[in-house]
C-alpha cells in the first residue's frame, strides 16, 4: 500500500490529478486509511471537483486523518470549499433500493440512507426497487447549506405503515461482505446516527469554536480596608491563575497597599502586603472562591512626634472572594474581585496608654486588573 501512496503523492505534486486519484483509490482498496482519504479529497478539489472532494475531506477530518500541517490543510481546504457545495441527505422507506442522482451511476451501498456533497442547484433523484419499482424526487440544494430528499414507495393495503424493513442501519463496527472489502471512495458511508441538524463546520468563516483558556496573568489596582483602621489603603495587585478544567481554577494573587491618611488622624502610617491562594468555581463570567491569606500589617509611628518604632504583625487568615471576568477580545479581560478575610487577630494601636485604634480581625479588599489569557 505504501508504494501506491508514494506514487500517488508524486503524481499529485506534479499536477497529474487522474494518476493521483487512481493511485489513492487502489491504495484504499487495500486499507481504508483516513490520511489517504484526505489526500484523495485534496486531489479531487485541485482537479476542479469540490463536491466529490468535500466528502473525502470531511471523512478524513472526522476520523482524525493526517498529522500536524497536513491535518490543518485538510481542514483549511474543506472550510474554503464548504460554502461552494451543498450537503444532501437522501432517505427512503425501502432497504433494497438503489439511487441515481441526475442520471449518474446507482449507489449500491446504503440503499436510500446516505449523504453526499453535491453542486448547488436542482437535482433529480431516482430510486429503483426490484419489489416496488421506481420512485423519483426533485430537490434544490442551497449553496453552502444542506437539504434532505425523501424517496417514497407506496405500500399495498393491509401492510403496516412502518414495516420492519423500512430502514436498515449499519451497526457500529459492522463489516458487510461484498460492500466494505472494495468500497469506492466516492460513495458515502451509512451513518450510525441520524444526520446532525447543522453541518459540522458550517462553511462560514469564524464558525470554529475557540479553544478553552487554561491560564492567565495580570496586574492592576488594589484597595484594602483593615490596616488597623477601616480607612482605605491603596496599592497594586498581581494575579496568576491556572484552569485545569472549564469550571475550576487555582488563583494566586499578591497585593500591597498603603494608608492614604494617618490612623485615627494621628501621624501614624500603616501598610499591608500579602498573598491570597484561592480555589475558584466559574459560571459564565462570574466566579466565587474559597481563599487562604498570608500577609503582614506594618504600623509606623512618626519619629518626630513619638518615641516609638515600627511594628509588624503577621496575619494569616481564611475567607472568600467573588468577582467577574469581562472579556475584551480573544486573549484579554478585565477582572474585578472583592474579598473578605478573617485574620488570626485584631490590631490595637495605643499612644501614651490611650487606645487610638482597636480594629477587629477582619480585612476587606478589592481589585481591578487587566489580564492576559492563554
247-260 pLDDT tens trace: 999 999 999 999 99
Indicate if the pLDDT at residue 187 is higher than 50. Answer: no
The reported pLDDT for the residue numbered 312 is 87
Out of 46-60, 193-207, 211-225, 353-367, least confident range: 193-207
User: pTM surpassing 0.85?
Assistant: no
Indicate if the pLDDT at residue 373 is higher than 80. Answer: yes
188-247 pLDDT tens trace: 544 444 555 544 444 444 445 556 778 999 999 999 999 989 999 999 999 999 999 989
Instruction: Using the structure block, give the residue that is written with the C-alpha cell 495605643.
Output: 350
285-296 pLDDT tens trace: 999 999 999 999
What mean pLDDT comes out for the span 284-312?
Answer: 86
Q: What is the mean pLDDT of the chain?
A: 82
How far is C-alpha 323 from the chain's CA centre? 24
Out of 172-176, 204-208, 265-269, least confident range: 204-208
What mean pLDDT comes out for the span 327-351?
Answer: 90
Band (pLDDT 50/70/90 cuts) for residue 353 is confident
The reported pLDDT for the residue numbered 111 is 61
End-to-end CA gap in the chain: 42
CA distance 9 to 19: 10
What mean pLDDT comes out for the span 277-301?
Answer: 94
Asked if residue 343 lies in contact with residue 361, where contact means CB atoms within 8 angstroms, the answer is: yes
- Phi, psi angles (nearest 5°) of residue 312: -120, 130
116-172 pLDDT tens trace: 888 899 988 888 877 777 888 888 999 888 888 777 766 554 444 444 444 455 666
The reported pLDDT for the residue numbered 304 is 74
The reported pLDDT for the residue numbered 174 is 65
What mean pLDDT comes out for the span 290-310?
Answer: 84
Q: Greater confidence, 107 or 87?
A: 87
Indicate if the pLDDT at residue 346 is higher than 60. Answer: yes
Indicate if the pLDDT at residue 80 is higher than 50. Answer: yes
Asked if residue 276 lies in contact with residue 293, where contact means CB atoms within 8 angstroms, the answer is: yes
Residues in Cβ contact with 30 at an 8 Å cutoff, skipping those fewer than 6 apart = 1, 4
Indicate if the pLDDT at residue 320 is higher than 50. Answer: yes
Amino acid at each position: 500500500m505504501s508504494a501506491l501512496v508514494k506514487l500517488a503523492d508524486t503524481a499529485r505534486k506534479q499536477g497529474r490529478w487522474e494518476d493521483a486519484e487512481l493511485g489513492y483509490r487502489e491504495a484504499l482498496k487495500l486499507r481504508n486509511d483516513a490520511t489517504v482519504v484526505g489526500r484523495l479529497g485534496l486531489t479531487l478539489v485541485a482537479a476542479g471537483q469540490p463536491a466529490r472532494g468535500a466528502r473525502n475531506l470531511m471523512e478524513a477530518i472526522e476520523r482524525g486523518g493526517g498529522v500536524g500541517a497536513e491535518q490543518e490543510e485538510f481542514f483549511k481546504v474543506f472550510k474554503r470549499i464548504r460554502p461552494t457545495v451543498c450537503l444532501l441527505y437522501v432517505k427512503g422507506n425501502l432497504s433494497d433500493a438503489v439511487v441515481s442522482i441526475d442520471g449518474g451511476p446507482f449507489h449500491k451501498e446504503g440503499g436510500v440512507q446516505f449523504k453526499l456533497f453535491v453542486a448547488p442547484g436542482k437535482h433529480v433523484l431516482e430510486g429503483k426497487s426490484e419489489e416496488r419499482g421506481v420512485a423519483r424526487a426533485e430537490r434544490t440544494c442551497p449553496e453552502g447549506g444542506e437539504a434532505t430528499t425523501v424517496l417514497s414507495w407506496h405500500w399495498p393495503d393491509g401492510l403496516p405503515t412502518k414495516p420492519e424493513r423500512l430502514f436498515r442501519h449499519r451497526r457500529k463496527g459492522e463489516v458487510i461482505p461484498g460492500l466494505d472489502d472494495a468500497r469506492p471512495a466516492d460513495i458515502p458511508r451509512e451513518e450510525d446516527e441520524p444526520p446532525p441538524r447543522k453541518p459540522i463546520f458550517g462553511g462560514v468563516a469564524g464558525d470554529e469554536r475557540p479553544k478553552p483558556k487554561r491560564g492567565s496573568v495580570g496586574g492592576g489596582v488594589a484597595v484594602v480596608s483593615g490596616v488597623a483602621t477601616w480607612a482605605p489603603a491603596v496599592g497594586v495587585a498581581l494575579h496568576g491563575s491556572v484552569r485545569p478544567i472549564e469550571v475550576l481554577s487555582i488563583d494566586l494573587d499578591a497585593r500591597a497597599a498603603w494608608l492614604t491618611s494617618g490612623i485615627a488622624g494621628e501621624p501614624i502610617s500603616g501598610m499591608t502586603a500579602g498573598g491570597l491562594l484561592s480555589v475558584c468555581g466559574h459560571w459564565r463570567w462570574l466566579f466565587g472562591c474559597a481563599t487562604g491569606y498570608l500577609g503582614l500589617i506594618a504600623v509606623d509611628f512618626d519619629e518626630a512626634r513619638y518615641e516609638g518604632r515600627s511594628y509588624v504583625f503577621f496575619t494569616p487568615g481564611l475567607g472568600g472572594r467573588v468577582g467577574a471576568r469581562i472579556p475584551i477580545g480573544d486573549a484579554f479581560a478585565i477582572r474585578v474581585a472583592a474579598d473578605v478575610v478573617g485574620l488570626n487577630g485584631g490590631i490595637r494601636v495605643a499612644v501614651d496608654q490611650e487606645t487610638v485604634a482597636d480594629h477587629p480581625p477582619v480585612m476587606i479588599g478589592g481589585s481591578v486588573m487587566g489580564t492576559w489569557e492563554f
